[in-house]
Each structure stands twice: as C-alpha cells, then as structure tokens.
Amino acid sequence: MTDETAVLSPSTVGPERPAAEGGGRGRPGQVWRSRRYRWDLRFSPYAFVAPFFLFFAAFGLFPLLYTGWAALHQVELTDPDSMTWVGLRNFTRLWDDEFFWNALRNTVTIGLLSTVPQLAIALGLAHLLNYRLRGSAFFRVAVLTPYATSVAAATLVFVLLFGRDYGMVNWALSAVGFDAVDWQNGPFASQLAVSTIVIWRWTGYNALIYLAAMQAVPGELYESAALDGASRFQQFLHVTVPSLRPTIFFTCVVSTIGATQLFGEPLLFNGGAGATGGSDHQFQTLGLYLYEQGWVNLHLGRASAIAWAMFLILLLIAGAARLLRGRKDGSR
C-alpha cells in the first residue's frame, strides 16, 4: 500500500495543473496527462485511507502484537529496555494468581450490573423520548449531559454521594428507614456503586441511539398493531423491540467492550488509596489490575500477560455473540 501512495504523490501534489493547461497541446502532454489521470483515479483512494491504516499500524497493531511478545519476558518499568525471556511463566503465574481471578470475577459482575440495567433503562427512556413532546430538544440534551462529564469528575462526586457517614445516598436511605450501607467496603455494595457511575454516564447516550432506531421504524407497523387492539405497552413489546434487535445487539457489543476495559471508575472510587480496587480488592477490575501490575508494581511483562488474557476473553465473547446471532438469524 505504501508503494502505491508514493506513486500517487506527484499527481496529487499539483491539483491546479490540469485546469491551467487548458486545450490540447502536443501529443506527449496529453499522454502524460491522461496517464496521470488514470493513476490518480486508481491510487488516490488508497492515499485517502492510508493515514488511518498507518496510524493504526503504528499505534494499534504493532503494540498489540508486541504485547504478546512482551508477555513472554520479564520487563520492569524502571528499565523497559532490558527484557529477559521467561517463556510462559507470566501466564502460568496468572493462572495461579487469586487476584487475577478476583479481578476477572469483578469485571464480569460489574459488567453485568452496569450493562443490563443501563440498556434496559435506555430502551424505556428512548420510548418516552419518541413521543411528541414539548421541549424534546431540551430533554435530549439533558439526558446526554452525563456523557460530557469525565470519568474522573463523575467518580469523584459519586465517591462523596456514596460516602458511608455523610453521603447523600445513605442520608436518603436512613430518611426512609434503612440502615446505612458501606458503599466502599461492602463487596457487593461497592460493585453496585461503581456500576451506578457507569449507568449514570452512559444511559442517555444509549437512549439516543435507540431513539434514532425507533424513528426509523415504519409507522404502518404501529397502525396495524393498533388496529389489532394492541395497547401502547404491547406495541412497544411486539413492534418496537423486535425492530430494534440489530441496534440492541450493537449496543450490547459496545457496552460489553466498555465493561471489559473498565478502569477509571474503580481506580478513583478508591478515594486516592491506589490501584487496589478497595482494601480487599473488592472492586478491582482487570483493567485496574493490569495498571497495578504494570505501573504500581512495575512488572510490565506480567501486565502484558493480563492484556493478552483480556484479549482472549474478548475473542471468546465475540465468538459467543456471533454464535448467538447466527442461531437467531437461522431460526427466523
């Protein structure tokens, strides 16, 4: 691909020339021009897509493969240039590492706790936004504002809201007669709190994606359903949801990828106490564990092994999703 872009460059550098030359001169000029025109047609598409692939090769593909190579070495952050070959030791260690399995479990639990309610709520919210509304533009922007809030800013305020002694959430709970919850140290409570941050930030975004898909559903479907005497809720269940299936699948994939790389929320939910994900690692995710191994414990090789384990898990999920979708398509 790079060769072709090199061929292309002389013809694209001076775009003003074909027009400036005007009517036909001698034959050689015309031959040269038509040849240049052909080259331009043939190779400029590659030149246009080249920047993306060059950047991807340099900052995406190469590092991804090199991660696999680094995972087979002992590398320390303090001296990243000296790599000692250790074979599969980083991986076998990971296999026996209770913190790795803990982080994997937490990632799955927090992933489910954040993704499932988030998408369900987003679907309902989109349904409401799809009505003819006064101030619909306001509502759409309002539910999207959490998306403009950074992970850091959002997590820092939620740490306070979920504070055990003086937090707003516990104050509200006690006001209606419940006991205070230790949102930081309770294993399940802390995971629920971390999930809440994710849900808060992303529900509005997903609702807008569903809303866009809902607006593309042909109105006749609703009319005929209404003629059959379907209530609004039944219409939602039997017309809207089936029409949205591809979009729902798409958001599930995106949210799952997001969930596997969850990092900032659990890091900062620890209130400045480091990358452990709580005193008992109760909300440490894989992304956070990778960071702890690499940039707190300085073991870049072991961090690479975690990265490849994450990659493997993602491939498994992708395979499962493909299977699931293939079966659904087949049954229709």
Partner 1 sequence: MRSLRAGRFTYVVLALFTAGSLFPLVWTAIAASRSNTRLAQTPPPFWFGGNLGHNLRVAWTDANMGTALLNTVIVAGTVAAGTVFFSTLAGFAFAKLRFRGSRGLLALVVGTMLIPPQLSVVPLYMLIAKLSWTDRLQAVILPTLVGAFGVFFMRQYLVHALPMELVEAARTDGASSLRVLWHVVFPAARPAMAVLGMLTFVMAWNDFFWPIVALTQNGSPTVQVALTGLGRGYIPDQSVIMAGALLGTLPLLLVFLVFGRQIVGGIMQGAVKG
What are the structure tokens assigned to 77, written together? 């952050």
The DSSP secondary structure of 143-178, one letter per residue, reads HHHHHHS-HHHHHHHHHHHT-TTT-HHHHHHHHTTP
Of 187 and 221, which has the nearer Cβ to partner 1? 221
85 binds partner 1 (CB under 8 A): no
Please select the residue that binds partner 1; options are 51, 242, 319, 326, rule is CB under 8 A: 51
Please select the residue that binds partner 1; options are 6, 25, 48, 95, rule is CB under 8 A: 48
- φ, ψ of residue 82 to 5 degrees: the values are -95, 115
Please select the residue that binds partner 1; options are 105, 200, 230, 249, rule is CB under 8 A: 200
Taking the complex as a whole, how short is the minimal distance between the CB of residue 233 and partner 1, in angstroms?
Answer: 12
Stretch of 91-99, 104-112, 201-209, 322-330 contacting partner 1, by CB under 8 A: 201-209
44 binds partner 1 (CB under 8 A): yes
Dist CA 14 CA 132 (whole Å): 53
Please select the residue that binds partner 1; options are 23, 24, 28, 131, rule is CB under 8 A: 131
Dist CA 110 CA 113 (whole Å): 5
91 binds partner 1 (CB under 8 A): no
Please select the residue that binds partner 1; options are 108, 116, 156, 173, rule is CB under 8 A: 156
Q: Any idea what the Cα angle at residue 157 is, between residues 152 and 159, rounded to 5°?
A: 95
Residues 36 and 74: beta-carbon distance below 8 Å: no
3 state DSSP class of 222? helix
Of 92 and 215, which has the nearer Cβ to partner 1? 215
Stretch of 94-102, 104-112, 186-194, 213-221 contacting partner 1, by CB under 8 A: 213-221
26 binds partner 1 (CB under 8 A): no
Residues 268 and 156: beta-carbon distance below 8 Å: yes
